[in-house]
Chain A
Amino acid sequence: MTHDNSYTGQKFKVIGNRFKRPDGVDKVTGRARYGADASAPGQLVGLVLRSPHAHAKIKKIDTSKAEKLPGVKAIITSDDLPDLTGGARDMANILENCMARGRALYDGHAVAAVAAVDNQTARKALKLINVSYQVLPHVTDVDEALKEDAPVIHDWVYTGGLDPKPTTPSNAANRTQMGHGDVDAGFAAADVIVEHTYKTEQTHQGYIEPHACLATVSPDGSAEMWVTTQGPFTYRTVCATLLGLDIAKLKVTSSEIGGGFGGKTHVWMEPLALALSRKTNRPVKMVMTRDEVFRASGPTASTSIDVKIGAKKNGKITAATLEMRYQGGAFPGPWAMLACMTGFACYNIENQRSVGWDVIVNRPKVAAYRAPSAPMAAFAVESALDIVAERIGMDAVDLRLKNVAKEGTQAPYGPIYGPIGIEAALKAVKKHPHYKARLQKGQGRGVACGFWFNIGGQTCVDLNIGTDGTVNLAVGTVDVGGARSSMAMIAAEELGISYDDVRVSVADTASLGHNDTTEGSRGTFSSGMATIFAARDAINVLRERAAKMLDVPVEDVVWQDGEARATGKGHGNLPVLSLKDIAGKSANTGGPIAGHNEVVADGAGMGFAAHICDVEVDNETGLATVARYTVVQDAGKAIHPDYVEGQFQGAAAQGIGWALNEEYVYGADGRLQNAGFLDYRIPVCSDLPFIDTQILEIPNPNHPYGIRGVGETSIVPPLGAVNNAIASAAGVRMKHAPMSPIRVLDALDEASVESQVSAG
């Protein structure tokens, strides 16, 4: 049965309220079970030996001593895993990232794994494995990797997207170009042209729960895995493909997930746990240490970006270009392409071109991180826009409004936008009390915008009605931040019953059809859509059953406010049947009552946000502190406003951390120097103010409730907003994020030297 996904403007009773989440009690009492909280009889502990070198040939791995240690049950290296190098490169890359094959490609790259009876024994065993390395030249910086004398990391990588096709391998995996119009003509027409290069350092998602799994493979080929993941179905497909298991025989159960932000969309050590279990015929539990999470699970790209914007004196942007270099770690990725698609997405720029280079370096494989690739491009664009505004003497928000993207604007990646919310967000900023508030001495204010596509994808849900009229809803997207609550609200809304009568669970891969990974802000949009349709299917069944109970044709039964009533001539005195009445009699009217839906949730609504940021700068130390922060974002429709606000606040906090202090620091030896929460400085509670939020609701026309995704967009503006605020507070325009005290003080020094020179 196909359903119409158009927005209907229906009036809501349940949606928009702030209910208590169903998993709340479990999570405040410590009962909720996360990745590392499961155990199985006879389980072994799996640990990974990792490369201490940024780039090295693995000459020999001698495991003989370790194997002899009592309690060691299995040791694996790439020799124990399928060799996929001849086949599809993407799968081979995933496996090679999980376990080095012949070469260690970054500090932290797995070279062997051990399963032993306990953690102490496994740790000893790792020390007894003898790996002979031949250290190779390495490169970790994105710009250095493109230089002619840089070591070329893979001999099979030829830059894609070039014509003619290159004949020598390169660290540039791909060149992408997006845009439209005639940029040369546009720049020729400009009164002012601003051109700068920006750099951003590598950051990590920083979820508090390390990767963890418990894998069991039986000799008959069946297998189970309990794992913290955003995509149990994807993990199943990938692990089964990598290891040659039957997809249906591998049951993956997603645990409660302690944060993901994109980092738990890729497999890391999970295939190793399955391989160790297969070799030992025992359950194997693997939990990464924090050091391993930083060194060997995907951070986001570090970048180097040239931006050029030309504008008329009246503020109209005539042309804009981006030339961007994004490193994807040791393997090719889509990251620069995403940057090309998002960089100018907030604006209506007739002549624009975005060029992106995906670059390979000796760093861990980059994974998606909340609106992947967009924050860095936005840092460059939003910072440059403020410089344009300053040069032409225009208010920076007015400049943005003058060029803002609207319904009918062509996106950088081609299509014409439908109804979108960036103009409304900027107008809301101008009206916001924060924007009008007086600044304290030493403070400055900045505004910046952000965009993220949002996606939909394959989704299915099962809705089962119990004989007492309460409802079980099984969804296949995971609950990273209150999704079960939103889904229960949607089911309750459709069925016309109370929120408390719906219980939502995240299904394992054996209980529900394929669901795409919970990424791209798709959870509430997609599973919400499937839940609406499943509930409507269930209502049709309920009407049929009511018709039987009332002995009337089903066409005469309508569903209203959680009740079936017969309409039409002669039915006036028939009883009204509640869902509970019908459910109670289901055994005699045809058996269990359920609704199902399988859908490709297409038509995701683009997300836009505008942020206001006040910072205070200590001119003597370069320390910038965020004093006040406001997020304005279009949610389409906020199902559960608490958790929509929570997404806005969390995304903004991550963006602020990125803007101020978070960065991977590599030494000259190519090793990561700050693989821990002490020196990788994510914001602590005392670093932040309350983060004010304003939810806009501009319905997505392609969702019955008008839902857009909300999870990612608000990590995009903070880098620009913070930079613009620093400029306003301290008079320096930063070109390198994070804008740490050292960089800000350097900029202040340069500015004072320049002013002395110009004064002299």
Chain B
Amino acid sequence: MRYESPATTKEAVALLAQEKGNARILAGGTDLLVRMKSGLDEPALVVDIKKIPDMTAIKKTTNGFKIGAGVSGARLGANKDLCKAWPGVVEATNLIGSDQIQGRATMVGNLCNASPAADSVPAMIAAGAKAVVVGKAGRRTVPVEKIVTGPGSTSLDKGDVIEAITLPKANKRTGDAYLRFTPRTEMDIAVVGVGISLTIERGVIKKARVALGAVAPTAILVPSAARAITGTKLDEEALDKLAAACSKACNPIDDKRGTAAYRIRVAGVLSKRAAKIAYARAGGAA
């Protein structure tokens, strides 16, 4: 196996594009190294992106935030501005694994691993996050929900690298939240995950985005759930409609971590709880 740690995104793209064998990007490595240990993945080339300055920075931009692909969960959690603007996204990322995992794991890695249960992904989708993809054809921006196409597969081409994730500028009246259900308090994989972001005006929800994880082959954006609460003050009726829309949008399977029926049911339960947190964060009165 060849190990490379280029200093620029351009070099990384070139290395990946040139490699004839199996090439992998190493960000946090918390998924890749596990697959390598079990023999599921035997890359001929590993490109470590953590020496690329653009990929290891959290930048405040005029449009919001740009978070490098190599930024770990621990660094995300330590960034006060980001925690204030997008607490749901930060919390979701910080739920991945232990403090040890947080020292390495990245949002982009979580996204590109393409697990339906990735914690950061529904939160990113709800927040309207976009991926900055660099490939042979240059740089392009892709909504996060368009990256993953199925368990273990993405829309990225060979040689494509996600350089960063962008988050929009957060409005004072915007709040986001992510909740997941796991049997253990920590060190667990989501059985269901719900990310919600919403913007209110005088207590009324003007805009909302609701995304679910672990209930379909990919994390999904659920417009019907957003519609259920838009224009409401998140009263009981709206919450019940939200829960029903979320449950309806689920297309889950039975697996070792949970049954389809359980996931459908709990998606509704968690959506209500997450919505209440997001609403309060947006300044709405409970």
CA distance in complex: A123, B257 (Å)? 30
* Stretch from B47-55, B104-112, B179-187 that touches the partner: B179-187
Asked if B266 and A684 make an inter-chain contact with CB atoms under 8 angstroms apart, the answer reads no
Q: Bound complex: CA of A623 vs CA of B262, how far in Å?
A: 12
Given A123-B39, A291-B38, A745-B262, A687 contacting B185 (CB threshold 8 A): yes
Cβ-closest chain B residue relative to A740: B183
| B183 & A660 in contact (Cβ 8 Å cutoff) | yes
* CB pair A741 B181 closer than 8 Å: yes
**Contact residues in A for B188 (Cβ distance below 8 Å):** 678, 681
Q: In the complex, are the beta carbons of A686 and B185 less than 8 A apart?
A: yes
Q: Is the CB of A620 within 8 A of B269?
A: yes
Q: Is the CB of B186 within 8 A of A678?
A: no
Do A678 and B183 touch (CB < 8 A)? no
Which residue of the partner chain A has the closest CB to B268? A620
Smallest beta-carbon distance A108→chain B, Å: 14
With contacts defined as CB atoms under 8 Å apart, how many contacts are there between chain A and chain B in the complex?
Answer: 50
Interface presence of B220 (CB below 8 A):
no
Whether A742 is near chain B, meaning CB under 8 Å from some CB there, is yes
B155 neighbours in A (Cβ, 8 Å): none
Residues of A within 8 A of B38 (CB): 291
Residue of chain B at shortest CB distance from A680: B256
State whether A621 touches B256 (Cβ < 8 A).
no
Report if A681-B183 is in contact (Cβ < 8 Å); known contacts: A621-B266, A742-B262: yes
Q: Which residues of A contact B262 (CB under 8 A)?
A: 741-742, 745
**Could you tell me if B183 and A741 are in contact, using CB atoms closer than 8 angstroms?**
yes
Interface presence of B153 (CB below 8 A) = no
Asked if B171 CB lies within 8 Å of chain A CBs, one says: no
The answer to whether B258 and A621 have CB atoms under 8 Å apart is no
**Which listed residue (B39, B184, B189, B258) contacts A742, Cβ 8 A?**
B258
With a cutoff of 8 Å between Cβ atoms, the chain B residues found around residue A742 in the complex are 258-259, 262
Q: In whole Å, how far is A684's beta carbon from the nearest beta carbon of chain B? A: 5
Residue of chain B at shortest CB distance from A674? B256
Give residues 608-652 of A contacting B (CB, 8 Å): 620-621, 623
Question: CB-CB < 8 A to B255: which residues of A?
Answer: 673
Question: B248 on the interface (CB 8 Å rule)?
Answer: no
Residue of B nearest to A673 (CB): B256
Report the bound CA distance from A621 to B187 in whole Å: 18
Query: Are B39 and A679 touching (Cβ within 8 A)?
Result: no
Contacts of B186 in A (CB 8 A): 684, 686-687
User: Would B257 and A679 count as touching, CB distance under 8 A?
Assistant: yes
A665 within 8 A of B: yes
B184 touches A681 (CB 8 A): yes
Tell me whether A258 is interfacial, beta carbon within 8 Å: no
| Residue A52 is within 8 A (CB to CB) of chain B in the complex | no
Chain A residues with Cβ under 8 A from B181's Cβ? 621, 623, 741
CA–CA, A214 and B186, complex, Å? 35
Are B189 and A678 closer than 8 Å at their CB atoms?
A: yes
Judged by a CB distance under 8 angstroms, whether B173 is at the interface is: no
A342 within 8 A of B: no
* B258:A678 contact, CB within 8 angstroms: no
Q: What is the 8 Å Cβ interface bit string for chain A, positions 262-298, against chain B (1 contact, 0 not)? A: 0000000000000000000000000001010000000
Known A123-B39, A291-B38, A679-B256; contact A621-B269, beta-carbon cutoff 8 A: yes
Q: Is the pair A665, B256 in contact by a Cβ cutoff of 8 Å?
A: yes
Contact A687 B184 (CB under 8 A): yes
| Contact residues of B: prevailing secondary structure | loop
Interface class of chain A by DSSP: loop
Contact yes or no, A684 B183, CB < 8 A: no
Question: Is A683 located at the chain interface by the 8 A CB criterion?
Answer: yes
Chain A residues near B257 (CB, 8 Å)?
Answer: 679
Q: Does A661 contact B (CB under 8 A)?
A: yes
Per-residue interface assignment for chain B, residues 9 to 50, with 1 indicating a CB less than 8 Å from any chain A CB and 0 otherwise: 000000000000000000000000000011100000000000
Given A620-B269, A679-B189, A745-B265, A684 contacting B184 (CB threshold 8 A): yes
> Could you tell me which residues of chain B, from 254 to 286, have a CB within 8 Å of some CB in chain A?
255-259, 262, 265-266, 269-270
Least distance between B263 CB and chain A CB atoms (Å): 10
Complex CA–CA separation, A665 to B189 (angstroms): 16
Contacts of B259 in A (CB 8 A): 742
Q: Which residues of B contact A683 (CB under 8 A)?
A: 184
Q: Name the A residues within 8 Å of B185 (CB-CB).
A: 684, 686-687
Q: Which chain B positions have C-beta within 8 A of A621?
A: 181, 266, 269-270
- Name B98's closest neighbour in chain A (CB-CB): A684
Most buried by A among B183, B259, B262: B183
Closest residue of B by beta carbon distance from A686? B185
Residues of chain A within 8 A (CB-CB) of B184 are: 661, 681, 683-684, 687
A683 and B262 alpha carbons, distance in the complex (Å):
22
How far, in Å, is B113 (CB) from chain A's closest CB? 14
Contact A678 B256 (CB under 8 A): no
Q: Which residues of A contact B258 (CB under 8 A)?
A: 742
Question: Mask for A661-686, Cβ within 8 A of B = 1, else 0?
Answer: 10001000000011001110101101
Residue of B nearest to A657 (CB): B184
Give the CA-CA distance A439 to B48 in the complex, in Å.
53
A654 nearest CB across to chain B (Å): 15
Q: Which residues in B have their C-beta under 8 angstroms from that of A677?
A: 187
CB distance from A750 to the nearest CB of B (A): 13
The A-contacting residues of B in range 170-198, CB under 8 angstroms, are 181, 183-189, 191
* Shortest Cβ distance from B259 into A: residue: A742
Residues of chain A with a CB closer than 8 A to B37's CB: 289
Distance, CA A289 to CA B269, complexed state (A): 38
Measured between alpha carbons, how far is A660 from B188 in the docked complex, in Å? 14
Q: Which of B39, B184, B259 has the most CB of A within 10 A?
A: B184
Chain B residues positioned under 8 Å from A127 (CB to CB): 39
Q: Which residue in chain B gives the minimum CB-CB distance to A741?
A: B183
Query: Chain A's nearest CB lies how many Å from the CB of B187?
Result: 5
The CA of A673 and the CA of B262, in the complex, are separated in Å by 19
Least distance between B37 CB and chain A CB atoms (Å): 8
Q: Cβ of B256: which chain A residues have Cβ within 8 Å of it?
A: 665, 673-674, 679
Q: How far is the CB of A688 from chain B (nearest CB, A)?
A: 9
Which B residues are in CB contact (< 8 Å) with A623?
181, 183
Nearest-neighbor residue (CB-CB) of A688 within chain B:
B185
Chain A neighbourhood of B270, CB < 8 A: 621
Contact residues, A113-160 vs B (CB, 8 A)? 123, 127
Hey, what's the 0/1 contact readout for B188-212 against A, CB within 8 Å counting as 1?
1101000000000000000000000
A476-B156 Cα distance, complex, nearest whole Å: 61
Bound form: Cα–Cα A127–B42 in Å: 13
B183: chain A residues at CB < 8 Å are 623, 660-661, 681, 740-741
Report chain A residues within 8 Å CB of B191: 741
Closest chain A residue to B188, Cβ basis = A681
> Which A residues are in CB contact (< 8 Å) with B266?
620-621, 745
- In A381-436, the 8 Å CB interface with B consists of none
B residues 237-266 near A (Cβ < 8 Å) are 255-259, 262, 265-266
Residues from 178 to 225 in A contacting B, C-beta threshold 8 Å: none
Bound: A683/B255 CA distance, A = 21
B residues within 8 A CB of A673? 255-256
Docked complex Cα distance between A480 and B39 (Å): 33
- Write out, one digit per residue, whether chain A residues 708-748 have a CB within 8 A of any chain B CB (1) or not (0): 00000000000000000000000000000000111001000
Nearest chain B CB to A236 CB, angstrom units? 33
The distance from the CB of B260 to the nearest CB of chain A, in whole angstroms, is: 11
Contact with B along A560-601 (1 / 0, CB 8 A): 000000000000000000000000000000000000000000
> Residue on B with the closest CB to A745?
B262
Chain B residues whose C-beta falls within 8 Å of the C-beta of A740 in the assembled complex? 183
Return 6 A-B CB contacts under 8 Å, by A number. A621-B266, A623-B181, A623-B183, A681-B184, A684-B185, A684-B187
| Contacts from A to B (Cβ < 8 Å) | 123, 127, 289, 291, 620-621, 623, 660-661, 665, 673-674, 677-679, 681, 683-684, 686-687, 740-742, 745
Closest 10 CB pairs of A and B: A686-B185, A673-B256, A665-B256, A620-B269, A742-B262, A661-B183, A681-B184, A684-B187, A674-B256, A687-B185
Beyond the given A661-B184, A665-B256, A741-B181, could you list 12 further A-B residue pairs with CB under 8 A, ordered by the A residue number? A291-B38, A623-B181, A623-B183, A661-B183, A673-B256, A674-B256, A677-B187, A678-B187, A678-B188, A684-B184, A686-B185, A686-B186
